[in-house]
Chain A
């Protein structure tokens, strides 16, 4: 069982907005399309995306996303940070591209779950 903070540490993520990082992560969803995340992500998923728009916060709240990870070193817009702080949604940044980050996370969780 991995928490958001454990994953942040293992993947070297930069936490820009710290919500409840003690949440246990159920899995991961990779997408840059908000409607796709709305339709298919699961409760307590991590969400890996390139989208930095404020709407990601609303989607994260509605879908019970444990934390959002922005890839390619993209920074959230100022309004996104403000909303995430208000909603206590964790937002983290990775310098890796989406493929690399998803690959590393997948490898990590496979090691941990027998």
Chain B
């Protein structure tokens, strides 16, 4: 891929839609794989996208996942309408989860999603307004090492 090639796309996400959970991240993974991006970066991007996608499905009402590749950087942006996050500091703590019991019975609510995104992303930004929604920006450098 030439350095100035831009590639982008967007997926719609619905809160509560467990039957399609992960479909957007799965499609993103296959797009990234076809572009010839290294398997390690594809795996990290897929896992972080999936955690973020699940958070919209579990905690928010509706949202979008947007990806863009430009200048050898992959940016995944998740935008949702939802309750927002009252304390980012708490939410980033491993084990902190407000997921209700039925979500825990579905295999989510370990309170590890945001910490996982932080661990696997090169850069991770979170912006939230209580009562309105949350935006996550996740960056991956496509050449060179994770810093």
Contacts and interface: CB of A to CB of B under 8 A. Distances in A.
A and B, direct touch (CB closer than 8 Å): yes
A35 interface: yes
B122 to A, nearest CB: 24
Q: How large is the interface on B (under 10, 10 to 19, 20 to 34, 35 or more residues)?
A: 10 to 19
Chain A at the B interface: mostly helix, strand, loop or mixed? loop
A35 B95 contact: no
B125 interface: no
A55 B109 CA distance: 13
Question: Which of the four size classes fits the interface of chain A?
Answer: 10 to 19
B95 A52 contact: yes
B103 to A, nearest CB: 11
Contacts of A55: 101
A14 interface: no
B101 A50 contact: no
A77 interface: yes
Interface of A: 32-35, 50-53, 55, 74-75, 77
21 contacts: A32-B107, A32-B110, A33-B104, A33-B105, A33-B107, A34-B101, A34-B104, A34-B105, A35-B105, A50-B110, A51-B104, A52-B95, A52-B111, A53-B97, A53-B104, A53-B109, A55-B101, A74-B94, A74-B95, A75-B95, A77-B95
Given A53-B104, A55-B101, 13 more contacts: A32-B110, A33-B105, A34-B101, A34-B104, A34-B105, A35-B105, A51-B104, A52-B95, A52-B111, A53-B97, A53-B109, A74-B95, A75-B95
